[in-house]
Amino acid sequence: MRAPTSDLPVAFDKVALRIGEVNVVRELNLTLATGSTTVLLGPNGSGKSTLLRLAMGLVAPTAGGITWGGRGTPGERLAMMFQRPVMLRRTAAANIAYALPTRDDARVFELLQQGGLADLADRPARRLSGGEQQRLALARALARDPEILFLDEPTASLDPAATKSVEDIVRVVAASGVKIVMATHDIGQARRLAGDIVFLARGRLVEHTLAHRFFASPATPEAAAFLRGDLVI
Amino acid sequence: MTDGASALQLVLGGDPTLYAIVGLSLYVSLSAVVLAAIVALPLGALLALTSFPGRTFFVVVVNAFMGLPPVVVGLAVYLLLSRSGPLGSLGLLFTAKAMIVAQALLVMPIIAALTRQTVEDLWAEYRDELTALRVTPARRVVTLIWDARFSLVTTLLAGFGRAAAEVGTVMIVGGNIDGFTRTMTTAIALETSKGDLPLAMGLGLVLITLIVAVNALAWGARRVGELRTG
C-alpha cells in the first residue's frame, strides 16, 4: 500500500553542517521539488555528498532545518544510491527482494530487466562487475518505489560503457516521474542529464539555475572557473 | 608392546571405551557451543549495534571474560548446583547436562566478543546502505549476522576448540565419573596420573586430530563460501 504522505518538496532552510573544526556545508537554502533532474555539480570536497546525505536524513544538520513534504522527519519515499554501493552477501535477485516490502518475484524480475541484469539474477552480487553492481544498487533503490532518488557520483569509478548504461536507466527513471538528484563532478555528465544545476563550492551553494543557462553563461566566477577546467580551491 | 603402539591399536581398533569417551566429549562440547551460540550471537550483534551508558565497560568485560579460567567457571557452576547451593534441588551436579551448561558459560564470552567485533566492522561498512533502505533495528541484526556468516562460523569453531580442549570445568562439574561424565580431557588427566599411558595417548591423538579436523573444516567452509558468494 502506498504511503499517503509525500516527501516532496525537500526543503533546506539555512542548513549548516559542522564536523569538528570544519564547516562542511554552510548557509544552504535549497528546495528540491518534482520536476526535471537536478544535478549537484562542483569540485571534490564542495559538499555535494554531504548535501545528499542531509537530504536523505543520514546525518542531521548542526544548524538550520530540513523538511520533507513539510514534515520534520524523512519518510519512506526516499531512496539513495551510493558511490560505492554495498552488495549484500546473496544473489542479485535477493538483493532487490531485500528492499521490497513484501515478497514479489514479478517486481524483482521487472527491476532486474530494467537494470539489464535479468541474466544475472542468480549470480552472487559480490561477484558482479563494477558497472553491474551499480546497476543493481540502482535497481535496489528503485525497489523502494521512491518519489525522489539521490545518486552520489554513481558512475565515478565506471568505464564509459558502464557509465552509459547507468545514465540510460537514470533517464528512463526520470521520465517515469521520479525526481532525480544526482551529485557529480563530471561536467559532461551534468550536461547530458541535468534539467537544473546546483553548483557548490567550499560547502556553499554558489549558483542554482537551469542547466542550459548555467552552461551557456555561468553567473558566478567560481562556476565559470570550474567550467573552464580551472581548479576551484 | 610400547605405550605408543598400544595407543594406536586402541584408536585404530575402535576400542569401545575410548570411543565412548570421545562420543561423550563431542556431545558435551557441541551442545555447549550450540547453547552458547543461541545466547551469544544475538547478544554480540546487539552489543555491536546499540549504544547505552556503560557500553565500553561492558565490551571490555566481555573481552576479558574470553580468558576466564575454566576451573573458575567450573567452581562457580559447582557452587550453584551443589546440594547446598541455590539450584541444588535440580540434581544436575555430576551429570552431562551440568557439563554442557558450564562449558556453554565458558564459551559464551568468546562467541559474544568475536561476534561483536565482526558485526561492528560490518556495520561500519553497511551503515549508510541499511539506513538508506530504512531497515529496522531487528532486521539489521539478522542481516548483519547472515552476511557475516563465514566469519561467525569461524567464531563458533573457535568456541568449540576452547570447549573441547578444556579440562577444569568438566572435571569439577562432571566429576570424571567412569562411563558417565568422563570426557577426553578428564580421562587423559586421570590415566596419566595413574601412569596408564596407552589410553591417555590414544585419547590425546584423537583430540588433536579432532581439533585439526575442525579447523580444517572451518577454513574449507569459509573458502567454499567465499568462492561461491564473493
Question: What span, in angstroms and rounded, lies between the C-alpha atoms of B107 and B41?
Answer: 11
Q: Which residues of B144-164 are buried (b: 16+ CB within 10 A; e: fewer)?
A: bbebbbbbbebbbbbbbbbbb
Structurally, how many domains does chain A consist of?
1
| Residue B216, all three cell numbers | 580444517
Task: For residue A170, name the pLDDT band (cuts at 50, 70, 90).
Answer: very high
- CA dihedral (A53, A54, A57, A63) in degrees, to 10, reads 150
> What are A's interface residues with B at a Cβ cutoff of 8 A?
53, 56, 58, 76, 78-80, 82, 85-90, 98-99, 124-127, 140-141, 144
With respect to residue B73, please indicate whether it lies within any of the assigned structural domains.
yes
With respect to residue B80, please indicate whether it lies within any of the assigned structural domains.
yes
- Alpha-helical (H) ranges within chain B are 3-12, 16-49, 55-64, 70-81, 96-132, 137-147, 149-165, 168-174, 184-194, 197-229
Provide, as residue numbers in chain B, all residues whose Cβ is less than 8 Å from the Cβ of A99. 133
| DSSP conformation class of A44 | T
With respect to residue A114, please indicate whether it lies within any of the assigned structural domains.
yes
**pLDDT of A231 higher than 90:** no
How many other CB atoms are there within 10 angstroms of residue A202's CB atom? Answer: 17
ipTM confidence score: 0.90
With respect to residue A3, please indicate whether it lies within any of the assigned structural domains.
no
What are the pLDDT digits (tens) for A182-208? Answer: 999 899 999 999 999 999 999 999 999
Mean pLDDT of chain B: 92
Provide, as residue numbers in chain A, all residues whose Cβ is less than 8 Å from the Cβ of B132. 56, 58, 78-80, 82, 141
**pLDDT of A37 higher than 80:** yes
CATH number, position A72: 3.40.50.300
**pLDDT of B180 higher than 80:** yes
Range of the domain at A16: 10-228
The pTM for the full model equals 0.86
What are the pLDDT digits (tens) for B124-140? Answer: 999 999 999 999 999 99
With respect to residue B200, please indicate whether it lies within any of the assigned structural domains.
yes
Structurally, how many domains does chain B consist of?
1
Of A165, A98, A99, A105, the C-alpha closest to A131 is A165
Of B88, B100, B94, the C-alpha closest to B36 is B100
State what percent of residues in chain B have pLDDT above 70.
100
| Residue B207, all three cell numbers | 583430540
How much is the average pLDDT of B15-31?
A: 93
CATH number, position B63: 1.10.3720.10
CA distance to partner chain B, nearest, from residue A78 (Å): 8
